[in-house]
Every structure is written in C-alpha cells, then in structure tokens.
Chain A
Amino acid sequence: MPIFKVTEEQIIEEEEEGPWKNLSNDLLALILKRFTNKSDLCRFRSICKSWRSFATPIQSHLLFPLILPPLHPNSRSFALSPTLLYIFSPKFTLHNDNDNDHNNNFWLSKVADTGNNKWALLNPLTKHKIYFFSSVVFKHGINLLGFRNQEVGRSYRLQLISGFGGKEEDAFDFEEFSSSISLRKVVVRIEERISVLGLLGYGEIALWNSGDEKWKIIMETGKKEKKNDFDDAICYDGKFYAVDRTGRMVMINPTAMEELVEVISPMNECNGQYTYLVESNFRLYMVNKIVNPRPTNYYDDDEDEWVVDKTSVGKPLGFKVFVLNNKEMSWEKVKSVENKVFFVSRDATWSVYPEDLGWSKGNCIYFEGLTGYDDEADLSFGLNAGVYSLEDDAIVIFDPPVNHWTRIFWPNPRWFVQKEEYPECEMQD
C-alpha cells in the first residue's frame, strides 16, 4: 500500500524561463534572510520584477546600524555598523585565466558605511580613506552593479552617536574615538541574538547581547590583576576567543553568562610582540609577529654623530604561524596556510583565496604598518607594512610603496572610476 497518493499534477512543470524565477516565496524568504546589507538587498531587487516585488526595500532583519548602550554611564551611545572587505573586479568571467594583465583586474578595498547612505572607501591595511581626484565620482556615486564585488571579509566598528538634536557632523570617527578611550577591536556574532565583544585598550573585554541595557565588563576568575592584555579577539564556531601575545587563549560563550575560560595556556614558542587570530577554511590560525622593540642607533659618518633610527622601531623580524588543534585544544606550528592569503591588522583579520586576487600561489601574510610616526609613514601603508611569505620565510616591506605585492589594493585601478556610466571621468592617456 503506498504511503502517499501520487498524483500527476504534483510533478513540477518547468517554465521556459527556467526554474529560478519561480522559486516559492518560502524559499525566496529563506534566501533573503541571509542578506544583512542594504547593498546585497539592492542587488537582489535588481534581478527581475518578481524578485523585486518580493523584497521590499526595508527589511526588518537589516540590522545595521544597530544602536548599543554607552560603555560608561556618562558617555554617549554607539552605532554599530560593518565595514565590508570587497574584491572588486571589472571582469565577468573569472579564474582559470592565465593572462598576466589580470593582476590589475582585482582590487581589494574596504567599504565603510558612514551614515545617511554614504560610503567611504578605505585602504584595507591602514584604514585611510581613499580619495578620488575626480569629483564626478563624489557627485554621482559609483554604480556597483557594473562590477563584480565579492565580499571576502568584514569587520565592525562602533561610532559614538550625537546627543539630542545633534547633527551628523558631531559623530566621531572610529579612529578618533578609539584613540581617546581605546576600544581596539569589535567582534560580532549574529545568531538569534546579536552578541558584541569589544576589546578595550588594556586588554579588558566588554560584552553586550541584544536586549541588554548595559555592557558587561568581564574579568578572569581567580586572576588578581585587572589587566588581561589581550591582543586580538575573534568569533569562531559560534564562540568568542581572545589571545594574548604568549598564545594564551580564552573562550567566552556570549550567551552563557559565565566569565571567560582559559582554553590554551601560554607557550614558550610564542615569543613575539603581537598576536593575531585569523579564520581560514573553517580553521583558526594564530599569527605571532616578532618586531624590533627598540629603535636602533647608528653612526652617521657625514654628520659625524649618532642617529636614532626611528623607523627601526616595530620593524618586523619574523613571524610564527600556528593552527588550532580543536580536539586537543592546542596550537600547532605550521609552515603553510593552505595556499591562502592572510591579512592581519589590529581591527580586522581575514583570509582570501589566491585565485580571487588573480594569483596562482598564496601562502603569505599581509601585515599592517605602524601609523604612529605620521611624518615618516607613507600614508598609503604606514611604516613597516609588508608581506611575509611562509614558503621562503621572508619579509618584504612595502618600500617602494608600489610593487607586485601592493597593487592589489594600491593605487586604485583606473577602471574603478572609468565605467561607461560616467564618461565624464575618463582620464587622458
């Protein structure tokens, strides 16, 4: 006896236009639920009439900007918004194309929502704003539908909101804010509730879950000193993790209201000055950066005097890379990052497939430079920014600033401002 009655009508008839246009509303809703950005929603709405009418411009699940309470009773509330890392490309067909010119057809940039539907393009390593010489770009905007823009990572920032009746000009820049009260990194977990972890200047951790009236400053149980000195934090596999420079890692389960739990103890082998956490291929990596801690002095023969070489401070001397062994909860030193390209900076880390940059080979780590010495640092990269190749165990500092390594994000390629929609910004050859 059949369990179901099978009727002929149940067999789906394919329309001549293909099956995608007629996705059921339930399925469309499931797909739509996965967009948390307005730009993705806009793209979805630009495909055809039926998709457009299904997705209304205002979706309640579009989360950002999200308003968060102030950290201190007398300060102002925050607006949380994502900064997206895109690889832009003018090409419609990608990969498997060994044309050398392709190197210039991929451009990595950060796009930050600056409020009121305005956006800023930022240098991915330094977070400096990128300005275009053509004012036309600013007048008309850039039509992103003309590019392939692949989101390869995102970071979050908290901006102070102005008080009652305040104007948008009052809003603080994140950099300005972070230097004043030192909120170093913001990590976000989006599940049924939104959880936000803020890494404070002295390594303290602040935690907020949607619905909470206040931030919770979490301390380690049984630890006398207030200082935790965490370098980096990440959301990995639904939990927050933070590390210090010794490789010691703690886990914070955002919804279980417990204190942090140490999952990995300090390691002798991890002896650098700064540690970053990177997620790649669903694995967690730790990058330990060893830098020159003090300036070196040298004798200048021409001037006949000792000179302090300011640029030698923070010069990277080496890198160590570890991968998390999930079963044993330990760090294992590795000589390869599975051919991916890592980017590490204090407010964000991410990993990219080399193919997405038009390369065949990756296995390297881009790192930020110091921006403390503004008079000497190159604005495009900062002082001592560079790339570390795991294969050769070699460090290349971006000096001169434009070379094979840097052109994936600096300078911006001409095609980015030269689309046919804006013929007036064509540059002269």
Chain B
Amino acid sequence: MASSSSSSLSRVVVKSSDNNLFVVNKKVASQSQLLKQCIDNMEEKGTNDVILIPLSNVTSNILTLVLEYCEKHADFADDDNNNQELKQWDHEFLKKFDYATLNSLTMAADYMVTKSLLNLCCQFIADSIKDLTVQQIRQIFDIKNDFTPQEEADIKNENAWAFR
C-alpha cells in the first residue's frame, strides 16, 4: 500500500469559492468522496505536504454547513450503536435552513459527492413536496407557474381524487 504511516496526511486545507481556507481533519474530509479521492491521490504520490483543495462551486457559508455535517458523521462513523442519535441529528440539521440554502447545500453535496447528505437533502425536498400545496411549493422553491390553461385543466383532472 502506498499510504504507509509516513506518507499519510492527517489534515487537508479546503478552499471555498470566495477564497476562504478551511483546515479539515482527514477523517472528516473522507466523508466527501471528492475530497477523499484527492487525499488518496496525493498519498499515492507520497506527498507529505499539506494539500490545498480548491472547491470552485462552494461558498464558505455552504462549505461550513457541509463540513459540520461531515464532522458529525465522522464522529459516528465507527459507532453503530448510536444510529438513533445520528438520525435525530440529521432530522434537525436541515430544518434550520431556508430553501435557498437547502438548494446550495444539495448542489454542494452533489458536487462534493457526499452521498448521505445528498440523500438527506433529497428526502427533505421530497417530503416538502408531499406536504405542501402546489402554490406553497412554487412559492418556497421560487418557481413560476408556466402552464397553459389547457395544461392547467389536465392537471386538475389528474389530481382529482375520486371517492367511493
């Protein structure tokens, strides 16, 4: 294995799109497949220097949140027993954000290949769609109604529940 203890990195520096630097513990960074890939590549080359990973698509606000998530999940990575606590934490985590932040967070999770965070975001979005009226969904997601009257009529038909 190339990653012997002498050449393994303990920390990396991640740079956000607005040029802020974040020092990240390797275990935390490994929650993102993108960062993990970078670290693995550098370790294979046998570099001992601290590496800098620039993320051109992620602002520091959003990166802070992704790293908060990664840190929590890294803490629990070896502990199967505390599943409930982590699930509860996940559940509360997304509730704090507005939908614009949620959008950026989803994009960032996708870009940084943090699969569990991406799944969490998508579940949250799906649940929002399930729970809200069409007007509310358009409002919170900032989407205009661009249907023609004919399409509107079709939609109305599609959504009418026939009871018996």
Interface residues of A (CB under 8 A from B): 2-4, 6-7, 10-12, 17-21, 23-24, 26-27, 30-35, 39-40, 42-49, 51-52, 57, 92, 111, 114, 117-121, 132, 137-138, 140-151, 237, 281-283, 326-327, 421
Contacts and interface: CB of A to CB of B under 8 A. Distances in A.
A17 B88 contact: no
B144 A48 contact: yes
4 A-B pairs with least C-beta separation: A18-B142, A141-B160, A34-B126, A20-B141
Given A3-B38, A43-B134, A132 B81 contact: no
Contact of B131 (A47, A119, A148): A148
24 contacts: A4-B54, A6-B56, A7-B56, A18-B143, A19-B104, A24-B110, A34-B122, A34-B126, A35-B126, A42-B159, A43-B129, A44-B129, A45-B158, A52-B147, A52-B151, A141-B161, A142-B160, A143-B159, A145-B134, A145-B159, A146-B133, A150-B131, A283-B84, A326-B81
Contact of B136 (A21, A34, A144, A148): A148
B129 to A, nearest CB: 6
A3 B54 contact: yes
Contacts of B107: 12, 19, 27
B1 interface: no
B125 to A, nearest CB: 5
Contacts of A31: 122, 125-126, 129
Nearest to B89: A282
Given A92-B135, A141-B161, A3 B129 contact: no
B72 interface: no
Interface of B: 17, 38, 41-42, 51-54, 56-57, 81, 83-84, 87-88, 91, 99-100, 103-104, 106-107, 110, 118-119, 122-123, 125-126, 129-138, 141-147, 151, 155-156, 158-164
B162 A118 contact: yes
Interface residues of B: mostly helix, strand, loop or mixed?
A: helix
A46 B134 contact: yes
A179 B97 CA distance: 49
Given A6-B56, A52-B147, 12 more contacts: A19-B104, A21-B144, A23-B103, A26-B110, A30-B119, A39-B159, A42-B158, A47-B137, A92-B133, A120-B164, A148-B133, A151-B131
A117 B147 contact: no
Contacts of B137: 43, 47
A327 B84 CA distance: 11
Contacts of B123: 34
A114 B164 contact: yes
A33 B119 CA distance: 11
